[in-house]
Amino acid sequence: MQENIKYDESNIQVLEGLEAVRKRPGMYIGSTSSRGLHHLVYEIMDNSIDEALAGYCTKITIIINKDNSITNIDNGRGIPVGIHPQMGIPTVEVVHTILHAGGKFDGKGYKVSGGLHGVGASVVNALSEYMIVEVFRDGKIYRQRYERGKVVTGLEVVGQTDVTGTKTTFLPDREIFETIEFDYEVLLARFRELAFLNKGLTIVLRDERPEVPVEKELHYEGGIVSFVEYMDRNKSPLHDPIYYTGEKDGSFVEIAMQYNKDSYVENIHSYANNISTAEGGTHLTGFKTAITKVLNDYARKYNIIKENEKNLLGEDVREGLTAIISVKLPEPQFEGQTKTKLGNSEIRTLVENVISEKFESYLEENPSIARVILDKCLASSRAREAARKARELTRRKSVLESTTLPGKLADCTEKDPSLCEIFIVEGDSAGGSAKQGRDRRFQAILPLWGKMLNVEKSRVDKVYGNEKLAPVITALGTSISDDFDISKLRYHKIIIMADADVDGAHIRTLLLTFFYRYMYPLVENGHVYIAQPPLYKIAHGKEEVYAYDDRELAKIFEEKGWKKADCTVQRYKGLGEMNPEQLWETTMNPETRVILRVELEDAVAADEIFTVLMGEKVEPRKEFIQTYAKNVRNLDI
């Protein structure tokens, strides 16, 4: 009797658990937007990756089915089907119906509970119209079906097999998600990253939705060395990638790094248990400290830095460096605003020791490579010194002129940055309309003039001195690079407003490159927006409406029942053609406008796009433009 009551109670708890997930899905998967939708796939796949890390699974296949359901197949041992000693139901059912706040259900190593990950199969189940799990184990095929987290069929044996593994199919719930349309490219980018991070693992992505299904197999014997080569494929490396590993007390670290000739920026990505640690943490700190020390010690030893000269700084030794730092550890602590900062202190020493020992001997054994690396660092150091002088000059000037804000800035009256917006506008005529059309209480206008610098091809000293960028820097108030301070940001919305033509796209890309490379936290924290001016104005009698693209134009005719012959359709060639009232109404008024927030879903892809579009090599740019020319209007970062 006792037993029975207890069972009922836990059953009720179970239901409450998954009900909670359906009531507040954002708490478990971050959001119900497209981003949250894609997280469902990562959650399910995560379990298969764990099985691969444990050494039992070599291949994971993910299929996007015609109806946007997802099938995830692995060739691991199969989820255990035996009766769970505490719960009294099959373990596979426990895994799918009981909320495991990211914990391990079987004490297996490497269960990740950081960021949005690790919440597990039960959360995905709760948020799916249906889920079908098939386990291939002990010569049998077991099968169970759930709907919105609830069991609809008990675990059944449905056939025989001579393989092992787990196959999960789920259809995300339309009642929960804003969209259930999966993006092949988004999944592919994440799977490529996972294939790089898990050397030897094969990941297959198959899209069954097109007329002719698409399939891609990802497998990198080189692991993160291949990752670095991949990221640098459009750059000019100074040497082959350097690769180190280390291990202590059940924690593993892997580092791959390579210096490039023609890049002035650093491209370092760190991971903990396959999760991108965008905010860095102990592994990244250990890496940075150690390479700075090793390079300074070597340069001192061989008199490359003279006795009266200063040491190289961290930023000097990272210029042009591409690196991946990947750690795998039993109990990762994720900290920081977005829970993407690794906190485990022991990892810092582990990484430092690996680099100190091995990078030092690498330099000793490869003196000519050591020399080109150090030449690059020294050049960076000199440029930094020049930048410091340029900066001091700017500061002195501003003291003399008594105002720090650029002359062309039409500032707003509101002083609380969280309520303020700045429109960065190309061209004086558009700038004029914007100044007249704006709501001056909270909207500032900064017209740009002069020659725009391509920051991808320049060092920081050039950036400070650039006539077009300097006003942007002073108007925003944050400074740049290592001096960047987000608490000084004067406007929480920075809106780039440029024409919808090729020149406008160019200026947009240059400004985005600048923000990405020199004011990264602005992008990361979602402060950067792109204004969407309309393409058409349609007048019908006294009524006037705007269309932002051709599709919308067609829709307006259809919905309003207007005939083309009765309307005047004006196509805007540029912002300058709009009068202040029109610009306000269509592009600036928060009540009626459309603005796109620049989001960084994938830092690796973003770096790649900026390198390709703005970097030294011409061929990859041509290739990119030829491939994507038809989509340029939707170029999203």
Which is nearer to ligand 0RA, 72 or 267 (by Cβ)?
Answer: 72
Among 10, 22, 65, 80, binds ligand 0RA (CB under 6 A): 80
- Only one of the segments 78-86, 320-328, 569-577, 620-628 lies at the binding site for ligand 0RA (rule: CB under 6 A); that segment is 78-86
- Only one of the segments 47-55, 191-199, 383-391, 457-465 lies at the binding site for ligand 0RA (rule: CB under 6 A); that segment is 47-55
Report in angstroms how near the CB of residue 76 gets to ligand 0RA at its nearest. Answer: 4
Q: Does 319 bind ligand 0RA (CB under 6 A)?
A: no
Instruction: Measure the CA–CA gap between 154 and 480, rounded to whole angstroms.
Output: 60
In the sheet with 140-147, reading across from the earlier edge strand, the strands are 150-160, 140-147, 128-137, 165-172, 70-74, 59-64, 202-207, 214-218
Give catalytic status of residue 411 as yes or no.
Answer: no
553-587: burial string, b at 16+ Cβ within 10 Å, e else: beebbeeeebeeeebeebebebbbbbeeebbbbbb
Indicate which residue of 8, 156, 501, 636 is catalytic.
501
Give catalytic status of residue 426 as yes or no.
Answer: yes
Q: Does 108 bind ligand 0RA (CB under 6 A)?
A: yes
502-521: burial string, b at 16+ Cβ within 10 Å, e else: eebeebbbbbbbbbbbbbbe
Cβ(313)–Cβ(384) below 8 Å: yes
Q: Does 172 bind ligand 0RA (CB under 6 A)?
A: no
CA atoms 514, 519, 525, 529: torsion sign: negative
Among 21, 79, 425, 547, binds ligand 0RA (CB under 6 A): 79
Q: Does 106 bind ligand 0RA (CB under 6 A)?
A: yes
Among 22, 35, 59, 77, binds ligand 0RA (CB under 6 A): 77
Structure tokens at 18: 């998954």
Give catalytic status of residue 501 as yes or no.
Answer: yes
Indicate which residue of 426, 456, 585, 602 is catalytic.
426
Which is nearer to ligand 0RA, 166 or 270 (by Cβ)?
Answer: 166
Structure tokens at 334: 């994720």
Instruction: Measure the CA–CA gap between 156 and 144, rounded to whole angstroms.
Output: 6
Q: Does 90 bind ligand 0RA (CB under 6 A)?
A: no
Percentage helix, strand, coil for the chain under 3-state DSSP, each rounded to 5: 45, 20, 35
Which is nearer to ligand 0RA, 74 or 607 (by Cβ)?
Answer: 74
Give catalytic status of residue 162 as yes or no.
Answer: no
Report in angstroms how near the CB of residue 12 gets to ligand 0RA at its nearest. Answer: 26
The dihedral formed by the CA atoms of 102, 328, 599 and 35, expressed in degrees to the nearest 10:
-40
Q: Does 76 bind ligand 0RA (CB under 6 A)?
A: yes
Instruction: Measure the CA–CA gap between 91 and 74, rounded to whole angstroms.
Output: 18
- Only one of the segments 75-83, 384-392, 570-578, 624-632 lies at the binding site for ligand 0RA (rule: CB under 6 A); that segment is 75-83
Q: What does residue 182 show for φ and ψ, rounded to 5 degrees?
A: -80, 145
Hey, which bits of 432-571 come out as E strands?
443-448, 493-497, 528-531, 536-540, 543-547, 568-571
Indicate which residue of 67, 106, 401, 503 is catalytic.
503
- Only one of the segments 76-84, 291-299, 474-482, 561-569 lies at the binding site for ligand 0RA (rule: CB under 6 A); that segment is 76-84
Which is nearer to ligand 0RA, 48 or 443 (by Cβ)?
Answer: 48
- Only one of the segments 28-36, 74-82, 145-153, 521-529 lies at the binding site for ligand 0RA (rule: CB under 6 A); that segment is 74-82
Which is nearer to ligand 0RA, 113 or 509 (by Cβ)?
Answer: 113
Rg (CA), the chain: 28
Report in angstroms how near the CB of residue 17 gets to ligand 0RA at its nearest. Answer: 19
Structure tokens at 359: 């990078």
Instruction: Measure the CA–CA gap between 477 and 463, rounded to whole angstroms.
Output: 15
Instruction: Measure the CA–CA gap between 601 and 368, rounded to whole angstroms.
Output: 39
Report in angstroms how near the CB of residue 235 gets to ligand 0RA at its nearest. Answer: 38
- Only one of the segments 2-10, 71-79, 463-471, 593-601 lies at the binding site for ligand 0RA (rule: CB under 6 A); that segment is 71-79
Q: How many residues bind ligand 0RA (CB under 6 A)?
A: 12
Among 47, 267, 274, 466, binds ligand 0RA (CB under 6 A): 47
As a three-state string, the secondary structure of 231-268 is: HCCCCCECCCCEEEEEEECCEEEEEEEEEECCCCCCEE
Report in angstroms how near the CB of residue 86 gets to ligand 0RA at its nearest. Answer: 15
Which is nearer to ligand 0RA, 70 or 612 (by Cβ)?
Answer: 70
Cβ(238)–Cβ(376) below 8 Å: yes
Determine the distance from the C-alpha atom of residue 332 to the mean position of all C-alpha atoms in its chain, rounded to a whole number. 20
Q: Does 43 bind ligand 0RA (CB under 6 A)?
A: no
Which is nearer to ligand 0RA, 91 or 277 (by Cβ)?
Answer: 91
* Beta-sheet pairing, 568-571 with 536-540: antiparallel
Instruction: Measure the CA–CA gap between 618 and 607, rounded to whole angstroms.
Output: 16
Among 17, 32, 40, 48, binds ligand 0RA (CB under 6 A): 48
Report in angstroms how near the CB of residue 41 gets to ligand 0RA at its nearest. Answer: 13
Catalytic residues: 426, 499, 501, 503
Q: Note the residues at the interface with ligand 0RA (CB under 6 A).
A: 47-48, 51, 74, 76-80, 106, 108, 166
